[in-house]
């Protein structure tokens, strides 16, 4: 089994600068602390973009320092709030495609992770032009040839999520990407994305997808006609993704929760016989 931590949209500012009434660095530090304490056995972390809010060098430095504290590798990709040159200057070890975009592959025991660059200077909308599509097509062909399952990672979703503000800045070339994904022989298992600052999962044209809360601020759940959705202070989260050959399981961890854990073993309705049978079943499955 491969254990992936999916975290998104930290929107880091230079140290000490707040964003929407919150401290993005403190929020990320808490996430990294929590992941290291509870999921130090993970294989890797992927951060699906909007690493920083304005693309400041000092903000990328904060990110680097935080990710260096993890006991496993972290793979960032960029979002519409990032600055590609500043990111690439700070993360020299992160791959790029032949045209200089932040597109790269990671081989894991679960299969091949393909990291897509959907950023276009001058717009918050997602952008995936011909040359980036060529890279993806080549990678998908190679994965199919090598019989590797594929997991896609991008900042922008290509489909509507029915929050109007976010749908207005989804992937512009979504139809071309949809056609490319429909035509490939590759075994695409999941599409992970960021950008929308909400926990959403579903299935698009046969491809399961998921995203989650950002680590700083969130976007209100407003499915009405307004073109602008307010930001909120809903609790942040990261996802723990468990990948095996026949199963994808995604757990969401609201890592700032500091309330009680409640011992329910003395509930009147607890059926000890059923619990014993359950224990035996789990033990048998684990061999
Ligand atoms: Fe964002």
Rounded to the nearest angstrom, the distance between the alpha carbon of 194 and the centre of ligand 1 is 7
The confidence score (pLDDT) of residue 126 equals 95
* pLDDT tens per residue, range 39-74: 999 999 999 999 999 999 999 999 999 999 999 999
State which residues of the chain have pLDDT below 70.
Answer: 268-270
- pTM flag (> 0.75): yes
Rounded to the nearest angstrom, the distance between the alpha carbon of 221 and the centre of ligand 1 is 15
- Nearest one of 242, 112, 133 to 187, comparing CA atoms: 112
Rounded to the nearest angstrom, the distance between the alpha carbon of 189 and the centre of ligand 1 is 24
Question: How many domains, in total, are found in the chain?
Answer: 1
What protein residues have CB closer than 5 angstroms to ion ligand 1?
Answer: 9, 50
Rounded to the nearest angstrom, the distance between the alpha carbon of 80 and the centre of ligand 1 is 7
Rounded to the nearest angstrom, the distance between the alpha carbon of 164 and the centre of ligand 1 is 15
CATH number at 261 reads 3.60.21.10
Rounded to the nearest angstrom, the distance between the alpha carbon of 84 and the centre of ligand 1 is 15
The confidence score (pLDDT) of residue 270 equals 63
Cite the beta strand spans of 87-206 per DSSP E: 104-107, 112-115, 150-153, 188-192, 200-204
Rounded to the nearest angstrom, the distance between the alpha carbon of 145 and the centre of ligand 1 is 35
* Domain coverage including residue 196: 2-285
Rounded to the nearest angstrom, the distance between the alpha carbon of 10 and the centre of ligand 1 is 7
* pLDDT tens per residue, range 210-230: 999 999 999 999 999 988 889
């Amino acid at each position: 089994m491969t254990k992936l931590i999916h975290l998104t949209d930290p929107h880091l500012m230079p140290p000490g600068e707040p964003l929407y009434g919150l401290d993005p660095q403190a929020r990320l530090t808490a996430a990294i602390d929590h992941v290291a304490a509870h999921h130090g056995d993970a294989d890797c972390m992927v951060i699906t973009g909007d690493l920083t809010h304005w693309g400041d060098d000092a903000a990328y430095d904060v990110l680097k320092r935080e990710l260096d504290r993890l006991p496993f590798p972290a793979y960032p990709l960029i979002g519409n709030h990032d600055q590609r040159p500043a990111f690439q200057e700070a993360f020299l070890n992160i791959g790029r495609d032949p045209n200089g975009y932040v597109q790269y592959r990671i081989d894991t025991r679960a299969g091949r992770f393909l990291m897509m660059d959907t950023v276009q200077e001058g717009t918050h909308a997602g952008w995936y032009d011909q040359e980036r599509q060529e890279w993806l097509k080549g990678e998908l062909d190679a994965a199919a040839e090598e019989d590797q399952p594929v997991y896609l990672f991008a900042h922008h979703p290509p489909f509507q999520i029915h929050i109007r503000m976010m749908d207005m800045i989804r992937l512009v070339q979504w139809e071309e990407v949809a056609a490319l994904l429909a035509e490939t022989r590759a075994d695409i298992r999941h599409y992970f994305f960021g950008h929308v600052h909400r926990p959403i999962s579903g299935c698009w044209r046969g491809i399961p997808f998921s995203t989650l809360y950002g680590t700083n601020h969130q976007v209100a759940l407003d499915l009405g006609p307004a073109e602008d959705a307010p930001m909120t202070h809903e609790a942040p989260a990261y996802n723990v993704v468990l990948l095996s050959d026949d199963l994808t399981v995604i757990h969401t961890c609201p890592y700032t929760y500091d309330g009680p854990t409640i011992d329910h073993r003395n509930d009147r309705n607890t059926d000890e016989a059923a619990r014993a049978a359950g224990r035996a079943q789990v033990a048998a499955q684990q061999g």
